[in-house]
Each structure stands twice: as C-alpha cells, then as structure tokens.
Structure 1
C-alpha cells in the first residue's frame, strides 16, 4: 500500500473516530460514572449507618466545625430545604446536634456528636474503597490526567478558567 493510501486510511479512521462521539456521549458518560460511584459509595457506607449525601455533611462538619444549615448547603451545593431534611435525619440517627450559635443566638449551628465523630473513620474507609474500585486498572498518571480533565470540565461549566491546576475565576453560576 502506498504512502498516500495509508494517509487516506488514517484520515478516514480519525474522522470516523471523531464522528462516533455524539453530542451527549461525554455528558452521558460523566453522569453515568458519577451515578455509579455514588451507588457504590452508598453501598460501602451502609455499615456506618449513613446514606448517600450524609457523608458529605459529616465530612464538611469535621473539616469546618459547627456550621449553619445555610453554610452547609452552600458548601455542598444543595438547596437549603434538602440540607434541612438531611440534618434532621442525621440528628435522628444521633450523628449531629443543633445548638444556638455562641455569637448570634438567632442562628442555629449544626455540629457532630460523639457518634458522628466516631463514624468519620468508617466514612473515610468507604470513600477510599469506592475510589479504589472506580480507579482499578488505571495508572497513577492516568488518574492525574483524569483529575485534570474533570477539573477542567467542571471549571468550564462553572465559568472558571482552569490552567495547570491554577484557577482564574471568570463567572460563577
């Protein structure tokens, strides 16, 4: 086969490869991967008595200390009514408690209870197991590349320019 024929064949293969990616393929794959890891994480959290979404609240409280429901909602990117329901469930399970803010009595602060603090190690183990399952078969370099690509996609969607890990805020949604 001549050089020109090989080049034409390569070009056809390249066009076919790009044409095979439809407009919803990337977003569909990202959404499906997110759902799958969330399902696996939910399954891995069962032994700690937590449900999907509750782990994020617990980890945010562990990292940031006592927070208002509004601050938690903003930090986790959920609506206030959703956060209020989640806090109510966590409180009923004995993982968190609500108390008046020490500086502003009009505010209520949510904080981890002893049982909540004790469950943090189980949450970390469930997250670690889920991540290991999700990344099985990928090299460290591939994982770094995946993280970079996902951060770029997220930044694009948030209106943030991301370059080599540095973020320049353009417009937040």
Structure 2
C-alpha cells in the first residue's frame, strides 16, 4: 500500500504541476498585449515629458535621430522609416521646421523632390535626446539585475520577431 500511496502522490504532483501551468497560461491569455501596450505608453509618456523640457514633442526625437543617421531624407522616406503615414510626417516636419530643428530644401538633382535636413539646433538636441532616453531607461529597468535585463531584451526581441513574421504573412 505504501508504494501505491507514493505513486498516487507523485501522480498528484504531476497533475498539480500541469494544473499550475494551465493556470499560468490562463493568466497570460488576454493580459500580455494590454500589459505590453500600457508599458510602452508609460515609457513613451515619461520620455515625452523629459523631451518636452528640450522643446520636443512626442515623435520628434525619432525624426531627429533618423536624420542624424541619414540626413537629407524625403518626408516619405522618413515616414516609412518611422512607421507613420506621410501626412503625419508632413505635419511633424512643418512643426519642427517652425521650431528650428529641421529645414526643407529642394533636391539638387531633382527640384521636384523636397528633402529634410537637421539644423544646428536639431543636431544640438541629439545629446539631450540621448540623456532623456537614458534616464527613462534607468527608471524603467530600476530594480532589475543585469541578467534580468538581458533576458527581458532577448524575450522582447523574440516577441518582436514573432509579430513581424505574422505581419509579413498577412
């Protein structure tokens, strides 16, 4: 009888472990996407507040960083690079031009094309953008070990790859 009792207990543990995994999956189902979305919003809100001190509005940091990597892009190329629609980019560029961060110029070879370039003021904001991003990252990752941060980044990259693959299939 003792052997049977032990077998029943082992079977019970396996059942308990399986039930626990099922319960964990149930917790994740329906929670993951909203949690990631809210986390991204909170991250963006904090960064936007820090960037507002530099005179930048949400999304303008991306334009400046894109142009720092490749100055003289068309509004359409900027929109595509940043994943926004062309009319949104056109309005953003207009606002940034009025603020003195960028300027539009006709292409030297094809005068029908307009290209966007960073001004000295736009280049000067790069350091402030980097500092704001670093401070925001520090806040977001507070309390996590280096190993946990690496694991989190690896997992988020996997999730992003999965989503990009799914986007490509649809």
TM-score (norm 1): 0.86
* 2:148 corresponding residue in structure 1: 142
Q: Does 1:66 align with 2:72?
A: yes
User: CA separation in 1, counterparts of 2:65 and 2:130?
Assistant: 9
Match of 1:108 among 108, 114, 118: 114
User: CA separation in 1, counterparts of 2:68 and 2:12?
Assistant: 62
- Structure 2 residues not aligned, in runs of 5+: 1-5
Question: Per the alignment, do residues 3 and 171 of structure 1 end up closer, same or farther by CA in structure 2, a change over 3 Å counting?
Answer: closer
Match of 1:18 among 7, 22, 25: 25
SS at match of 1:83: helix
SS at match of 2:104: strand
| Mapping for residues 48-59 of structure 1, pairs under 5 Å | 48-59=54-65
- Structure 1 residues not aligned, in runs of 5+: 161-169
SS at match of 1:102: coil
- The CA deviation at 1:172 is 7.2
- List, as ranges, runs of 4+ consecutive aligned residues in structure 1 with deviation greater than 6 Å: none
Q: Which has the larger radius of gyration?
A: 2
More helix by share: 2
Q: How many residues align?
A: 163
SS at match of 2:56: coil
Deviations 1:66-120 (A, max 9, x none): 1110110010010000000000010010111001112221111111111111111
Pairwise CA RMSD: 1.9
TM-score (norm 2): 0.87
